[in-house]
């Protein structure tokens, strides 16, 4: 990973404030809503509800290497270890008698969108029952080929139903003008985030995917607020400064790599060091780009429906291949690494076939490895290292033959 | 000029010593516990047969699962790339290598320039590898070397599950207790391994000619079962 960012200190303060704010807000009468990461949170912000992300809690626990411990408490309740690591960890925390990364904030209400997967709705449903809090599910139809206007209309209809649900549950009023303001801020933050991510295309780059994994918290949590806009302005400035001073993400960048998709949080450093040791920088992932979208302010609800239903996890095989290939082209990648994540079935589905198709179409080497994004018990270092090193050796071979 | 290659596998370690590209010594030993000392011991033993010392070697390259723990190696290279290189010398016409090792089975595609074009390996689970065969041989109280020849005698192999080595072992033990033919059980084990490896190989396009390497290559029944699968 890169030398420490100045912005990193700011991020730590912001996150600490965010976690503290939940309980404070509740006391002030601001309801706490559990939300999912790829969800029209802009509506939540526009209605002055406090959004809380249990997935972030999972990522935090995973990065601190305690997700497996918390998961065990969930497993003791019968949640099998094949389920999503974030869900097991979040459920486990509810039942745990130890809280090494703080306690997950109980919800007043839960809202969820299944555009990411089918595990989140089940987790939220169970949490809703446990906390006796009302739950609303936004159903995003799968898009196998073309986007259908019917699917979009179905989602827009549900957005209005959700607004109704939120008004009834919280007593707060929805205002379309306020939503447009929030969308404006969200668009500004996502634009800045995208600009930061694009810096990884420079060679050598001042910033890579593993850095982005660290700096993505505000775009997930605060998109739609001034906080996110200010944060990414500061980050972009720092990145420009780094470019001017010649500060690079890794000492000797020779290869640019596309990575799919979530990082192995408890081994983030292990991976970033292994890549850096082989002069390889991971420059892009569809994961960090999940929040690099644009809104059309002239039609807010339709635009929200488009952005959140047309996310990659909700798309067909061919679309996902094309998306990866587009990133590889845009960031001038020499190869690609696909992480078959036990926790994330929808994204791991067909990964071996995707690898084959992408390798054939691009002529670039690619490798699949298996692990879990949060649970260290599914990590086998020797196996993964051999795969990745053989991949690095392929890059070297190609480079010697002047193919890259 | 003398050079050495050392392969620290999960079960066996192997050493080769070359003089001006000619093989002059080789040695195979069980890896045992501590890799750092084991790797030095096996290399020194091989050198001893030639009356050489470690400092006589111009270069040492380490490969295999334990490659990162060989302190005196100049370079660590994965088995995958090493197999590609080895075929240049041994069988230049080979395009697909099937390696059946202790804890890994691999399929490696080599292009006409002897570059690794593609590869595939078993994921964490070691069912379908040499270790699996070893566990089964122990459970059946048959020596590992006899497993292959015995399997070839079977007319109706048993069906053995291969999702998990531990489960397969208890299945084998129950079949023996039921009085089923050991030979049919052994044949079933070989078929199960071959199926698993073949399933994995389908992820890379198998091309002629094919070489089988690793401890599994010494097992005639396994090689024949794979031949039958590949056609």
Please name the member of B65, B81, B118 whose beta carbon is closest to the beta carbon of A393.
B81
Does residue B160 contact residue B171 with C-beta atoms inside 8 Å? yes
Structure confidence by residue, pLDDT tens digits, B87-112: 988 899 999 999 999 888 999 999 88
Taking alpha carbons only, the member of A116, A110, A114 closest to residue A129 is A110
| Distance of residue B80 Cα from the nearest chain A Cα, in angstroms | 6
Q: What is the residue whose two structure tokens read 């990364």?
A: A101
Task: Give DSSP secondary structure letters for A331-367.
Answer: TT-SEEEEEEETT-HHHHTTHHHHHHHHHHHH---EE
Does any CB of chain A come closer than 8 Å to the CB of residue B112? no
CB contact under 8 A, B124 and A390: no
Name the strand (E) or helix (H) holding B62.
Answer: strand B57-63
Distance, CA of B230 to CA of B226 (rounded, Å): 6
Residues A288-311: what's their mean pLDDT?
92
| Fold of the domain spanning A178-400 | Rossmann fold (3.40.50)
Does residue B165 contact residue B193 with C-beta atoms inside 8 Å? no
The reported pLDDT for the residue numbered A343 is 94
Task: Answer positive or negative: Cα dihedral of A306, A42, A15, A188.
Answer: positive
The reported pLDDT for the residue numbered A404 is 46
Distance, CA of A83 to CA of A71 (rounded, Å): 10
Q: Which residue of B has its CA nearest to A380?
A: B124
Higher model confidence: residue A21 or residue A301? A301
The reported pLDDT for the residue numbered A15 is 87
Start-end of H helices in B122-164: 130-140, 144-151
Residue A1 predicted with pLDDT over 70 = no
Taking alpha carbons only, the member of B9, B47, B49, B48 closest to residue B29 is B9
Q: Which residue of B has its CA nearest to A394?
A: B116
In chain B, which residues have their Cβ closer than 8 Å to the Cβ of A377?
none
Does any CB of chain A come closer than 8 Å to the CB of residue B99? no
Residues A320-337: what's their mean pLDDT?
97
CB contact under 8 A, A386 and B118: no
Please, which residues bridge with residue A284 across strands? A258
Confidence band for A324, pLDDT divided at 50, 70 and 90: very high
Distance, CA of A275 to CA of A1 (rounded, Å): 10
The reported pLDDT for the residue numbered A403 is 53
The reported pLDDT for the residue numbered B112 is 85
Does any CB of chain A come closer than 8 Å to the CB of residue B202? no
Distance, CA of B79 to CA of B99 (rounded, Å): 9
Which domains, and CATH codes, for chain B? 2-77 (3.30.420.40), 92-231 (3.30.420.40)
> Before B29, cis peptide (omega within 30)?
no
Name the strand (E) or helix (H) holding A96.
Answer: none
The reported pLDDT for the residue numbered A219 is 93
CATH value of A6-175 in 3.40.50.11890, 2.102.10.10, 3.40.630.30, 3.40.50.1820: 3.40.50.11890
CATH 3.40.50.11890 maps onto chain A at: 6-175
CATH 3.40.50.11900 maps onto chain A at: 178-400
User: What integer best gives the mean pLDDT of chain B?
Assistant: 92
- % chain A with pLDDT above 90: 86
Structure confidence by residue, pLDDT tens digits, A45-98: 999 999 999 999 999 999 999 999 999 999 999 999 999 999 999 999 999 999
Residue A136 predicted with pLDDT over 70 = yes
Ramachandran sector of residue A279 (left: φ over 0; alpha: ψ -120 to 50; beta: rest): left
Residue A303 predicted with pLDDT over 60 = yes
Does residue A91 contact residue A126 with C-beta atoms inside 8 Å? yes
In chain A, which residues have their Cβ closer than 8 Å to the Cβ of B65?
382, 386
Q: What is the ipTM of this complex?
A: 0.86
User: What integer best gives the mean pLDDT of chain A?
Assistant: 94
């Amino acid at each position: 990973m890169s030398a420490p960012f100045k912005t990193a200190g700011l991020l730590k303060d912001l996150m600490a404030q965010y976690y503290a704010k939940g309980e404070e807000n509740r006391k002030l009468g601001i309801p706490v809503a559990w939300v999912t990461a790829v969800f029209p949170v802009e509506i939540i912000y526009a209605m002055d509800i406090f959004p809380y992300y249990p997935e972030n809690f999972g990522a935090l626990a995973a990065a601190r290497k305690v997700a497996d411990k918390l998961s065990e408490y969930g497993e003791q309740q019968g949640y099998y270890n094949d389920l999503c690591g974030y869900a097991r960890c979040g459920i486990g925390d509810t039942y745990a008698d130890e809280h090494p990364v703080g306690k997950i904030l109980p919800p007043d209400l839960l809202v969820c969108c299944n555009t990411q997967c089918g595990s989140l709705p089940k987790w939220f449903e169970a949490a809703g029952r446990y906390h006796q809090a009302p739950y609303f599910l936004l159903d995003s139809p799968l898009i196998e080929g073309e986007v259908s206007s019917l699917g979009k209309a179905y989602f827009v209809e549900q957005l209005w139903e959700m607004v109704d649900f939120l008004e009834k549950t919280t007593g707060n009023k929805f205002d379309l003008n306020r939503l447009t303001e929030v969308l404006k801020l969200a668009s500004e933050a996502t634009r800045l985030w995208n600009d930061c991510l694009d810096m990884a295309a420079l060679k050598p780059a001042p910033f890579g995917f593993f850095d982005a994994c660290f700096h993505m918290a505000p775009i997930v949590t605060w998109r739609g607020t001034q906080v996110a806009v200010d944060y990414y302005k500061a980050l972009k400035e720092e990145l420009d400064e780094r470019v001017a001073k010649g500060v690079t993400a890794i000492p000797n960048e020779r290869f640019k790599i596309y990575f799919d998709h979530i990082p192995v949080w408890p081994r983030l450093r292990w991976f970033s060091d292994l890549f850096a040791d082989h002069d390889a920088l991971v420059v892009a992932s569809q994961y960090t780009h999940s929040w690099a979208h644009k809104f059309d302010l002239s039609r807010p609800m339709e635009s929200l429906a488009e952005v959140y239903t047309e996310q990659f996890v909700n798309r067909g095989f061919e679309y996902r291949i094309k998306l990866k290939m587009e990133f590889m082209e845009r960031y001038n990648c020499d190869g690609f690494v696909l992480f078959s994540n036990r926790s994330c079935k929808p994204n791991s589905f067909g990964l071996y076939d995707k690898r084959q198709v992408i390798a054939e179409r691009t002529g670039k080497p690619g490798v699949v490895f298996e692990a879990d994004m949060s649970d260290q018990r599914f990590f086998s270092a020797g196996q993964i290292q051999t795969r990745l090193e053989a991949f690095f050796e392929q890059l070297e071979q190609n480079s010697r033959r002047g193919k890259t | 000029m003398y050079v050495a290659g050392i392969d620290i596998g999960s079960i066996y370690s192997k050493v080769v010593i070359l003089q001006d590209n000619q093989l002059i010594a080789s040695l195979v030993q069980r890896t045992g516990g501590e890799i750092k000392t084991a790797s030095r011991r096996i290399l020194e033993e091989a050198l001893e047969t030639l009356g050489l010392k470690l400092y006589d070697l111009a270069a040492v390259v380490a490969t295999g699962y334990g490659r990162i723990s060989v302190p005196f190696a100049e370079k660590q290279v994965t088995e995958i790339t090493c197999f590609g290189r080895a075929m240049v010398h041994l069988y230049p016409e080979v395009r697909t290598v099937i390696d059946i090792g202790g804890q890994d089975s691999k399929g490696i595609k080599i292009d006409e320039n002897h570059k690794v074009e593609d590869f595939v390996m078993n994921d964490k689970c070691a069912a379908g590898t040499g270790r699996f065969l070893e566990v089964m041989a122990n459970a059946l109280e048959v020596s590992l070397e006899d497993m292959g020849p015995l399997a070839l005698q079977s007319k109706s192999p048993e069906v053995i599950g291969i999702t998990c080595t531990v489960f397969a072992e208890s299945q084998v033990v129950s079949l023996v207790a039921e009085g089923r033919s050991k030979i049919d059980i052994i044949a079933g084990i070989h078929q199960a391994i071959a199926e698993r490896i073949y399933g994995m190989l389908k992820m890379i396009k198998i091309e002629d000619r094919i070489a089988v390497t690793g401890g599994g290559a010494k097992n005639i029944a396994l090689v024949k079962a794979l031949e039958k699968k590949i056609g």
